[in-house]
Amino acid sequence: MCGIVGFTGRQQAAPILLEGLSKLEYRGYDSAGVVVRDGDASAEIVKAKGRLKVLSEKTNGGEAVPGTCGIGHTRWATHGEPSENNAHPHSSDDMNVVAVHNGIIENYQEIKDKLLKKGYTFYSQTDTEALVKLVDYYYKKYQVGPIDALAKTMVRVRGSYALAVMFKDYPGEIYVARKDSPMILGIADGESYIASDVPAILKYTRNVYYIGNLEMARLTKGEIEFYNIDGEIIEKELTEIKWDAESAEKGGYEYFMMKEIHEQPKAIRDTINAVVSDGKIDLSSVGITEEQIRDVNQIHIVACGSAYHVGVVAQYVIEDLVRIPVRVELASEFRYRNPLLQDNDMVLIISQSGETADSLAAMREAKNRGIRTLAIVNVVGSSIAREADNVFYTLAGPEIAVATTKAYSCQLVACYLLALEFARVRGTLKDNDYQEMLRELDTLPAKIEKIIEDKERIQWFASKYVNAKDVFFLGRGIDYAICLEGSLKMKEISYVHSEAYAAGELKHGTISLIEDGTLVISVLTQQELYEKMVSNMVEVKSRGACLMGLTTYGHYNIEDTVDFATYIPKTDRHFSASLAVVPLQLMGYYLSLAKGLDVDKPRNLAKSVTVE
C-alpha cells in the first residue's frame, strides 16, 4: 500500500524523504514523488513512474530539490492507472495546497463534481486530487487556518486517509490528518517526521506519537501539536520504539525474507518468554482474566491471508485442547455477513500489521455488537492493537518482506499459548500434560534452527521445478492448514499456480488436474492420519504426479512412495505447523530466487492491505 514520509527540520529534506521511502518499498508501489520547499520559495514537486531509483535519478539523489521541509509518497494505484500524472504529491492549481495521501476517498466523485461546478479543473484520475482541492476550497472559502480547513474536509469526506499537507502560507510546516490509515509522527532535536511505518524514520528517531482516528497534527521543526476534529488541542504520549535500526536492515542476507526465516527461532522464543515464566503462562500483559476465559462460549477467529491460515491451525488446536467451538473466517467475509454472535463469544483477530482494513472492520463490527475482542498483533500502536479489548503482542520485530514468515510463526505460537492457558483454566488439560506441552513449546526454536540448517536440499529440489506451472499441496487436519500457507508462499512470490487441498477432498474433482510431472507436495506430520495420506499420495502418483513428502524423522519408508522426502523433528502433534511450515517457506523462497524474481517485493502485492 502507499507509503508516506515527511520531514521538517534543519537538514535537507529530499535525501531523508528518499531514504525513508526506500524503507517503505516493501509495502508495494508503482510510482513515487516528493515535494520540497526551500524557506518561503514555492514548493517543487518531482514525480516518477516505476521504482524509486527513477525518482532518485530525476532529483539527483535529492540535490535538485533543495529545502528543509517536504513530503514524499510511494503510490500503489487504486483510482487511476500507475502513471506520473496520477503519482503523488497532488496540488491545487495555484500550489496553495500540496499533499500526499494513503487510503481511499469513497465519495470522491461527488466531491469532484461539486468542485467542478465551483470552477476547479482536474488533471489526474485520483481520489487524492479531489481531496486536496477540497482542502483548498474550504481554506479559501472560509478564510480559516490549515487545521480548520482540514477539519471541514474530514467532515465532508467518506473513506480512509493518512493525509500530509503543506500550505503555501505556512512554510516549514506540515499538517496531517488521519482516519483508518496508518501514520506515525516522530520527533528529535529540532526535527519532526511523519511516516506510514516505523522503518522509514527509525534511522533518525525512536520517539514517536501515534495519531488517532479523526485527529490532526501540525508539525514544525522539532515540535508537534495534536488536534481533535473540533480543532481543539489534545495531548499525546510519546512512545519509544524498541526495535533497533539494524533489525530493519538486511544484515548480509540477499533478501529480507531469508533473513526473516532465520529470525524465526528468536522471534518465537521472545514471544514465548514474554508470557511464560516458571513453567506457567501469565496473560496479565494481555489483560484477560481467568474469569473471562471461563465465560467464553465460542471463539470466532477472523483474519486475512497468512494470518487466516494461522487461524485454521488454531481452530484445530483450540477445539482439541479447550473443547469449545471455534469458527475461523476470512475478515472480508465476516464483516459483511451479519454473523451470529452471542454475548459470551470472543472474537480473536490475528494481524501482523494491525492495519489490515478488513480485519480492522471485522473487529469493529464485533465491538459494536458488544463482543469481547482479543487481537494477536505484531505492530505496537497499530489501529487493531489500540482498539481491541485485549492485545497479545507477537515479538517478531519489524517484518519487511511482503511474504510473511516470522510473524506467521509467532502468531501460531501465540495461539498455542492461548489454547494452553484456556485449557488449563477451564480444566480440559491435565496439569502434567500442560507442563509437558509447555516444555515442548520451548524446544520449537532449536528444532526450527535444525530445519533451516538443511536448507540447501530444498534449494536443490526447488531449482528442478523452476518451470512448474501448477503445484498441489495435500494434507489432512493440521497438515491441511499448513498446506494452505505453503501454497500461498509459493504462489505469491514464485508466481506458480498452486492450490492446497484437504487430501480426502481430492477425489471429488481436483484429481482430474493431475497429469504427468505435476508436482504434488504432501505434508504428513499427523501420526494417526499418516496411512490415509500415503494412500492419497499413491493415488496421485499412479496418475503421473511427481511427489514431494514432508514428514517427521523416522518415517523413512515414505521414500518408497515419493520422489523427494524432507524431514522435520518430531513434536507434539498440535505444534507441528510451526516446524512443517519452514521447508515450505524455503521452497517458495528458492523457487522465486531460481526464477530471478524480486523475492521481497512480489508484483501487485502490498505488505499491509489498508484498503478493502
Chain residues in the site for ligand F6R (CB under 6 A): 304-307, 351-353, 356, 359, 403-404, 488, 492, 608-609
Does the N-terminal peptide bond of residue 339 adopt cis geometry, omega within 30 degrees of 0?
A: no
Question: What's the min distance (Å) between Cβ of 409 and ligand F6R?
Answer: 12
Whole-number minimum distance, CB 184 to ligand F6R, in Å? Answer: 16
CB of 357 to ligand F6R, least distance (A): 9
**Comparison of 8 and 411: residue with beta carbon closer to ligand F6R:** 411
Q: What is the DSSP string of 406-457?
A: HHHHHHHHHHHHHHHHHHHHHT-S-HHHHHHHHHHHHHHHHHHHHHHHTHHH
Distance in Å, CB of 610 to ligand F6R, minimum: 9
Cell, residue 44:
517543487
* Residue nearer to ligand F6R on the CB measure, 86 or 359: 359
Decide if 476 contacts 533 (C-beta within 8 A).
yes
- Whichever of 385 and 609 has its CB closer to ligand F6R, that residue is 609
In the bound complex, what is the minimum distance in angstroms from residue 293's beta carbon to ligand F6R?
24
Annotated catalytic, 2? yes
Euclidean distance between CA atoms 498 and 599, whole angstroms: 17
Minimum separation from the CB atom of position 50 to ligand F6R (A): 24
Residue with cell 502485492: 605
Opening angle at CA 216, ends 383 and 379, nearest 5: 20
Cell numbers that stand for 299 in this block: 471463539
CA count, 13 A, side-chain hemisphere, 292: 16
Assess contact for 557 and 567: CB atoms under 8 A: no
CB of 489 to ligand F6R, least distance (A): 7
Which CB sits closer to ligand F6R, 56 or 359?
359
CB of residue 570 to ligand F6R, shortest distance in Å: 27
* Exposure letters 526-544 (e unless 16+ CB within 10 A, then b): beebbeebbebbebbbeee
524 contacts 550 by C-beta, under 8 angstroms: yes
Nearer to ligand F6R, 402 or 529 (CB): 402
Residue whose C-alpha is closest to residue 484's, from 580, 364, 413: 580
Cβ atoms of residues 489 and 498 within 8 Å:
no
Measured CA to CA, the distance from residue 157 to residue 95 in angstroms comes to: 21
**In angstroms, what is the minimal distance from the CB of 310 to ligand F6R?**
8
Quick one: CA dihedral 140, 144, 147, 150, positive or negative? negative
48, 54, 61: which is closest to 15 by C-alpha?
61
Report, in Å, the least distance between residue 309 CB and ligand F6R. Answer: 8
Q: Count of CB atoms within 10 A of residue 392's CB?
A: 26
d(CA 487, CA 328): 19
- What whole-number distance in Å separates Cα of residue 192 and Cα of residue 303? 34
Question: Which of 95/605 has CB closer to ligand F6R?
Answer: 605
Nearer to ligand F6R, 501 or 589 (CB): 589
As a whole number of angstroms, the distance between CA 60 and CA 248 comes to 25
Active site residue: 447, 455, 489, 607, which one?
A: 607
List the alpha helices (DSSP H) in 85-234. Answer: 108-117, 127-141, 146-156
Residue 151 or 299: the one with the smaller Cβ distance to ligand F6R is 299
- What is residue 280's three-state secondary structure? strand
Q: How far apart are CA 586 and CA 569, in angstroms?
A: 16
> Residues 412, 413, 414, 420: is their CA dihedral positive or negative?
positive
With respect to ligand F6R, which residue has the nearer C-beta, 352 or 526? 352
Which residue sits closest to ligand F6R, CB atoms considered?
305
Active-site annotation holder among 2, 69, 304, 410: 2
Considering the complex, state which of residue 412 and residue 609 has its C-beta at the smaller distance from ligand F6R.
609
CA distance linking residue 36 with residue 70, whole number of Å: 4
**Strands (E) located in 496-545:** 497-502, 519-524
- Residue carrying the nine cell digits 485520483: 126
- The nearer residue to ligand F6R, 208 or 304, going by C-beta atoms, is 304
Decide: residue 557, CB within 10 A, 0-12 exposed, 13-18 middle, 19+ buried: exposed
Least Å from the CB of residue 351 to ligand F6R: 3
Give catalytic residue positions.
2, 607
